[in-house]
Amino acid sequence: MPCFQAFFLEGPQGKGQRFCIFHPAQGVTRGRVLHIHPFAEEMNKSRQMSALQARKLAQAGFAVLQIDLFGCGDSSGDFGDASWQDWLDDVALGAAWLSQQGSEPLWLWGHRLGCLLACEAAPSLNEACHFLFWQAPSTGRVLLQQFLRLKVASGMLEGGPNTISTDALKAELLAGGSVEIAGYRLSSALAAGMEKATLSPPALASAQAWAPVACWFEVSSQALPEPSPAISAAIQRWEAAGIAVRYQSIPGPQFWQTAEIELAPALLESSCSALRDAAPSSPASVARLDLEHQP
């Protein structure tokens, strides 16, 4: 029997199909997890890590859905035609599908840009949720700036007389144009969404049987005792909003941007332990676990 199921979901508003991989929970289901992948080439660099994590979570009792957003991976559409709203709609699509698989607590597992999408999409979902963050950026503007710098660096290496600046690239996007960067065509609609996105705590539904949790991980060459000032300020905002934040710095390679495919085993183990420690989080799963451990 396969340990995962690959299939296509019909996308919203007639925009083709979304490729999905579902990892059913093994044993008692502790929760449901929706994976929201990172941006552009970071998604490809992270494929192996996300697949390994999905399998580990499934083995720990979590049902995991991985979905390729519009224009990404094996889903319909061209990356250059994707908008920020398209991707928010896809998060809602994946969450709706998971809601049909059970009533256990929902986790939004975001990586890099996926963290920002999780924050913005969460209030529109029909249920409250927890969060698993991998390397959450403080704003989408930071990621957009980093991406535009690839274009600038490429121009400098080519030695052209009129090297373009990030400000000029932003102006082109704001004017409704698109920019080709490292093989990806970035649309103005997607860039505008990234520019406005922030790592703000979402206003979650108040009628829930469990308190929301955010398991927050950062990876660096060596474990850092404290988060950066920007992330520390974001964590304080989340805690002030009533969301319990469990932050941890993990030593390992920044696999989403390394030249070769690399793994961070400590991140896999720590993420799995964090979700396992937060579960069981619903009365139904508590009851099932109690029955399972009765002599």
| Chain centre to alpha carbon of residue 292 | 32
149: tokens are 């710098």
Q: Using one digit for the tens of pLDDT, what is the confidence trace for 32-58?
A: 999 999 999 999 999 999 999 999 999
Higher pLDDT, 229 or 289: 229
pLDDT tens, residue by residue, 227-282: 889 889 999 999 999 999 999 999 999 999 999 999 999 999 999 999 999 875 44
Query: CB–CB of 169/148 below 8 Å?
Result: yes
* Residue 107, CA distances (Å) to 88, 121, 184 in order: 16, 12, 29
Which of left, alpha, beta for 61 (phi over 0: left; psi -120 to 50: alpha)? left
Q: What is the pTM of this model?
A: 0.91
Mean pLDDT (the chain) is 89
Label residue 287 left, alpha or beta by phi (over 0 means left) and psi (-120 to 50 means alpha).
alpha
Share of the chain above pLDDT 90, in %: 75
Q: Do residues 141 and 194 make contact, with C-beta atoms less than 8 angstroms apart?
A: yes
- Which residue in 5, 82, 71 sits closest to 43, CA to CA? 71
Task: Tell me the pLDDT band of 211, cut-offs 50, 70 and 90.
Answer: confident
The per-residue pLDDT for 160 is 59
Specify whether domain 5-139+206-290 bears CATH 3.40.50.1820. Answer: yes
Confidence band of 225 (pLDDT split at 50, 70, 90): confident
Q: Does pLDDT of 133 surpass 90? A: yes
Banded model confidence at residue 153, pLDDT cuts 50, 70, 90? confident
Taking 70 as the threshold, does the pLDDT of residue 290 lie above it? Answer: no
Q: Which residue has the higher pLDDT, 154 or 28?
A: 28
| Contacting residues for 42 by C-beta, under 8 A, at least 6 apart | 111, 112, 113, 256, 257
CA distances from 45 to 19, 53, 249 (A): 18, 14, 20
pLDDT computed for residue 198 by the predictor: 95
pLDDT for 207:
47
- In the chain, CATH 3.40.50.1820 sits at 5-139+206-290
Token pair listed for 4: 């995962």
DSSP 121-163: HGGGSSS-EEEEEES--SBHHHHHHHHHHHHHHHHHHHT-SS-
Dmax over Cα atoms in the chain, in whole Å? 77
